[in-house]
Amino acid sequence: MQYREIGTSGLRASAVALGTWAIGGGQWWGESDDTQSIDAIQSAIDHGITLIDTAPIYGWGRSEEVVGRAIKGRRDKVILATKCGIWFQDGRGSSWFDMEGHDVRRSLRPDTIRIEIEQSLQRLDTDYIDLYQTHWPAIAPDLTPIADSMGCLLELQQAGKIRAIGVSNATPAQMDEYLALGAIASNQPRYSMLTRDIEADLVPYTMAHHISILAYSPLEQGLLTGKIGMDYILQPGSWRNNIPWFQPNNRQRVLDLLARWADLTETYACTMSQLVIAWTIQQPGITFALCGARRPEQAAENAGAGQVTISDIDLARMRYDLDQLGTPMGKE
């Protein structure tokens, strides 16, 4: 496994991280077995993964609770990351969407952040969060100034409740505002072989400012594992319906691309998932890849990617193939 520093925080964590969105289950991900999820988390730790990322919105607190149970007695073995800013407890913040009877809002008000940190500490059964991230920027009409949100986060850091501050889905301009007030260690944007928009502006910015990128959805919700074939049927309400690459005509193009890399999995004695994850963490500025797992064998497989090093020639070949693939058909 490769281990890297999160920004300039002094915190070191595995380049292959465990993302726990799917562990929360619910409408986005369907049924989830908590016992199996705990086994998956413990398997990840056993195989060298130390960075575990979660959030209150994942299963309305369920993911955090499961993570807390899984790391009990092993808290010192992990770098624990969670988030604030997606609020579903009352009318504070700005309305975003409705789901499963919840009015989901975006709020980075200091009062809601203080409530969220205490609830997360309780669910995770810990005294501190290693990396505390704003999940999404605030939006109008309850557009909390970044100075107010960051001021609250700095107070929590001074109180010892969080060790490092991170952001998610934040633009360079928004990060400028954060950095004017204090250090941020990371930004968590969406990034994969198929979704590389951030290479244009966000990656150069974070590299210049020594901010780590925690890439989420690096396997495109499983599509880049090569295990989701043309016979896979998208279920109503599934998050995968929002991804154009899952539509049949686009999916076939991706599967054809992966098939052309079969020789590379032989060269590196790895699975397709491991090849894709290894490619991701070898991209300039991509410090960590957040990979989901709900079964122990999935966690172990993901961890194995941390031992794969792709040659410059093969990295260039894969990049060329991806450039030829282009964008999904039907995308505006």
- Residue whose pair of structure tokens reads 């290479």 in the numeric block: 199
Query: What pLDDT is stored for residue 332 in this prediction?
Result: 40
- Residue 146 and residue 231: Cα distance in Å, rounded? 46
Query: What pLDDT is stored for residue 121 in this prediction?
Result: 98
Helix, strand, coil % (nearest 5) of the chain? 40, 20, 40
CA 276 vs. chain centroid, Å, equals 15
Cite the beta strand spans of the chain per DSSP E.
Answer: 3-5, 12-14, 16-19, 51-53, 79-84, 86-87, 94-99, 102-106, 129-134, 162-168, 186-188, 212-216, 288-292
CA 263 vs. chain centroid, Å, equals 29
- Taking the chain (332 residues) in runs of 10, the rounded mean pLDDT of each run is 96 96 72 87 96 93 94 95 95 92 94 98 97 96 96 98 98 97 97 95 98 95 83 71 82 92 96 96 97 92 96 96 84 46
Query: What pLDDT is stored for residue 237 in this prediction?
Result: 66
Catalytic residues: 58
Q: 3-222+271-309 has which CATH code?
A: 3.20.20.100
Tell me which DSSP letter residue 93 carries.
S
Per the CB < 8 A criterion, the answer to whether 25 and 314 are in contact is no
